[in-house]
Every structure is written in C-alpha cells, then in structure tokens.
Amino acid sequence: MQPPVPPPHVAPAPAPPAAPPSDPERDNVLFSLWRARHGEEVDTFGAYLVNEHLADVVPMYQLLRSASMWKECHAEPFEVPPPSEWENVRDVLILLRDLRQRGVLPNVEVVSAYRDPRLNRCAGGAPGSSHQKFAVDIAPLPPAVGASLCRFWREEGKQWNMGVSRYPTGRIHIDRTGYRTWGASHKRASSYCLD
C-alpha cells in the first residue's frame, strides 16, 4: 500500500489591499508631532481609557481627531476632550467595541470626534452638536456594513440611546446622546436607516 500523497502546497489567497485612509494628513506622524506639545493631557486621557479597558477600541490618533475643517478654522488637528466629557467618550467607545465584537462594524476609521464649541461653530456643526460632548464620525462604509449598522440601530439603538446619521460625504455619525437618526437634510425623513 502506497502512503497517501500529500496535497500540493497551495499558497493562501493574498489579503485584499487596505483601503486608503480617509484622512491621510492627520495620521500617526502628525499626531506624534502634536503630542509632543500635549503629552501630559494625552497621557492622562490614555490612562483613563486603560483603566476603563477601552484603550484598544480606536487608535488614539483617530480618537483625538478634531473637525475635518481644522485648518480652515485655525484650530488644532487633534484635541483631548475635557475631563467633564470623558464619561461620554467611554459610552461611545463601549458601543463601538460592542459593534465590532458583533461584527456589525468590523473596522472603522474615526475621522472626527470631540469639537470644542468654537471649532464646532466654525465647522458648521449644529449649535447642540453632540460632538461638543463626544461623538464620532467614521469613514464611509460599504453598503452591506451600513445596512448592518442601520439594522442594529433599528433593533437595539433605543436601549443604547444611539444616534446615527450619514452625511452627503458618506461619513457616518454615531453618538449616545439620544435615540434618533437623520440624513442630508438634517431631518429624520432623509436618514438612510429608514429606507
């Protein structure tokens, strides 16, 4: 009896190329330069996230991205939320972690998070924008992932006090300051989660 012939070696399929970052300028390099001037407050905030077991949910350089219009508004590219808002940061990160663990949002890139009131006004944010407490805007999602997020919002968003929106740019807004949805017109009727 002949020994079994081992199957020919098959190379694994190559991984799909990583999507280019949505905000290539505000990368880890620019963050390192900015952090050199803000190290103590970043370290204190980072220690809070470690203590809450949330330090690995979103890379710090993304979590601290301010408004995308930071240059036009003569603002900093990154900003640490004030300590009074850290519980809001915690709550949003808990939601993002849950969405990732369930496979609803397997990968996200945060392109905008906390905005102080002056930057929020300059960037065209609503006067009561949840970014002033803490919210995230994430890079556009593939249609199937967006549909999964909307399904989660419809089924469980109320218990999470979750707000979700998609802007005309395709970016997705997520917060935990009220169960609501809106779209391009800033009204509920234009939300893509109600299609």
Contacts of 10 (CB under 8 A, 6+ apart): none
Write the pLDDT tens digit of every residue in 88-140.
999 999 999 999 999 999 989 999 999 999 999 999 888 889 999 999 999 99
Residue 6 is predicted with a pLDDT of 46
Domain 28-194 fold: Muramoyl-pentapeptide Carboxypeptidase; domain 2 (3.30.1380)
Residue 127 per-residue DSSP state: T
The ranges of the chain with pLDDT < 50 are 5-18
Q: What are the residue boundaries of the structural domains of the chain, listed by start?
A: 28-194
Can you list the positions of beta strands (E) in the chain? 110-112, 136-138, 163-166, 172-175, 180-182
